[in-house]
């Protein structure tokens, strides 16, 4: 079975968030084909949380919690993803602001 590229997955996610009235922004572009995807999720600009595409405990692709448990401010948020990009220039960083962002992203990216 053909694997969806990171660029196509990110494009679909951003487009779908916008269609649903949310906000989505690519903060950093990664490798088009197989770059990792780090999501910064929020709801109405509050409660920032990082999720990352990875392999879940059942061995299946999933969105996994990533980053610090609590993000004190905007600086802590941007510091985290910028440090990750320094170590992995292939990493995509996407900001999503939509109701139930984690569920929305998981459904859009094909994780259940």
> 86-98: per-residue pLDDT in tens?
999 999 999 999 9
Q: What is the mean pLDDT of residues 52-80?
A: 83
In the β-sheet with 61-66, what is the strand arrangement from edge to edge? 23-28, 92-97, 37-43, 46-55, 61-66
> 31-40: per-residue pLDDT in tens?
999 999 999 9
Radius of gyration of the chain (CA): 13
Q: Which CATH class is domain 6-108?
A: alpha beta
At residue 27 the predicted structure's pLDDT band, cuts being 50, 70 and 90, is very high
- Phi, psi (rounded to 5 degrees) for 12: -65, -40
pLDDT exceeds 70 at position 2: no
How many percent of the chain have pLDDT more than 70?
92
Minimum mean pLDDT range among 8-12, 88-92, 103-107: 103-107
Mean pLDDT computed over every residue of the chain: 89
Q: What is the mean pLDDT of residues 61-71?
A: 82
Residue among 71, 66, 69 at smallest CA distance from 84: 66
Q: pTM to 2 decimals?
A: 0.90
CB-CB contact of 92 with 26 (8 Å): yes
């Amino acid at each position: 079975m053909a694997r969806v590229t990171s660029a196509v997955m990110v494009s679909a996610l951003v487009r779908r968030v916008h269609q649903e009235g949310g906000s989505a922004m690519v903060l950093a572009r990664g490798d088009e084909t197989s770059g990792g995807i780090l999501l910064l999720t929020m709801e109405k600009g509050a409660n920032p949380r990082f999720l990352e595409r990875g392999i879940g405990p059942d061995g299946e692709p999933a969105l996994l919690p990533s980053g610090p448990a609590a993000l004190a401010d905007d600086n802590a948020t941007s510091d985290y993803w910028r440090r990750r990009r320094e170590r992995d220039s292939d990493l995509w960083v996407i900001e999503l602001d939509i109701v139930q962002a984690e569920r929305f992203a998981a459904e859009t990216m094909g994780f259940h």
